[in-house]
Amino acid sequence: MTPSAATSSIEDLASCHDCGFVVTLAGGAHHAATHCPRCRAAVHRRKPDSLNRTWALVITAAMLYIPANLFPVMTVISLGKAQADTILSGAIYLLVHGMWPLALIVFFASVVVPLLKLFALTFLLISVQKGSRWRPVERTKLYHVVEAVGRWSMTDIYVVTILVALVSLGNLATIEAGVGAIYFAGVVVATMLAAESFDPRLIWDRARESNG
């Protein structure tokens, strides 16, 4: 495979998404389905249906984001009185208690990161669809950032899990998971899948086409 890959034209080359092996795709079709000779994964020139899938997941995440922030992620019932905590009030709680470095991390992980991912992916999608040639290197770096920071939004889900498990004494205090946690988990999963389905090579395709 290697000698033929080396001699054929650049346009016919594609790399396997799973193992990076370079294969030659004949015909130049965009989604020619070939199997990688090295690892047997399906080889696509670009991720299949990248723009449609990413849009669908970004819109899903944006819709889930609203109830995720409005509804409480957990309710603390202590001595007969219940106190509901949303994502934002959880971060503010830490700030009020003087834990501002931790408050900053939580605010960043659960409020800034999901919003950053939604805005950054929307921006990347629109710029690719408009065939933008504007700063492809920086847009590629933005994509790498979105890919890397997304996981940190899971922090709040873990906090709810740990608190629910620990404070289950029943007599003095109980902590219950709220519906907000379900929506918030949905936001994290949808944005992670959206980042995964976006193909950064599209940024460079459009930049090249517009170059003429």
Partner 1 sequence: MFKFSATTPSSADLAIPPGWLTLCHACDLPSRVGDVPAGGTARCPRCGSVLYRRVRDSLDRTLALALAGLFLFAAANAFPFLALKMQGNVTHTTLSTGVRALYEQGTPIVASLVLLTTIVAPLLQISSLIFVLAPLRLGRRLPGQARVFRLLRRIQPWSMMEVFILGILVSLVKLLDMAQIVPGIALWSFVLLIPVLAAASSSLDAEWVWRRIGLAQ
# residues contacting partner 1 (CB under 8 A): 71
Sign of the C-alpha dihedral, residues 169, 174, 175, 177?
positive
**DSSP SS3 for 86:** coil
Residue choice 29, 40, 89, 209 for contact with partner 1 (CB under 8 A): 40
Q: Does 166 bind partner 1 (CB under 8 A)?
A: yes
Query: What phi, psi does 175 have (nearest 5°)?
Result: -120, 125
Segment contacting partner 1 (CB under 8 A): 26-34, 57-65, 116-124, 169-177? 169-177
- Closer of 27 and 165 to partner 1 (Cβ): 165
State how far the Cα of 114 lies from the Cα of 125, in Å rounded to an integer: 16
Give the bridge partners for 23, in sequence order.
14
Q: Does 75 bind partner 1 (CB under 8 A)?
A: no
Residue 53 corresponds to which tokens in the numbers above?
A: 């899938």
Residue 117 corresponds to which tokens in the numbers above?
A: 């991912």
Q: Does 163 bind partner 1 (CB under 8 A)?
A: yes
Residue choice 37, 52, 130, 210 for contact with partner 1 (CB under 8 A): 37
Residue choice 19, 29, 66, 96 for contact with partner 1 (CB under 8 A): 19
Q: Are 42 and 35 in contact (CB under 8 A)?
A: yes
Segment contacting partner 1 (CB under 8 A): 25-33, 39-47, 63-71, 124-132? 39-47
Smallest distance, partner 1 to C-beta of residue 162, A: 4
Smallest distance, partner 1 to C-beta of residue 126, A: 19
- Closer of 39 and 115 to partner 1 (Cβ): 39
Site for partner 1 in 99-118 (CB under 8 A): 99, 102, 105-106, 109
State how far the Cα of 109 lies from the Cα of 113, in Å rounded to an integer: 5
> CA distances (Å), 41 to each of 13, 28, 29, 35, in order?
16, 19, 18, 5
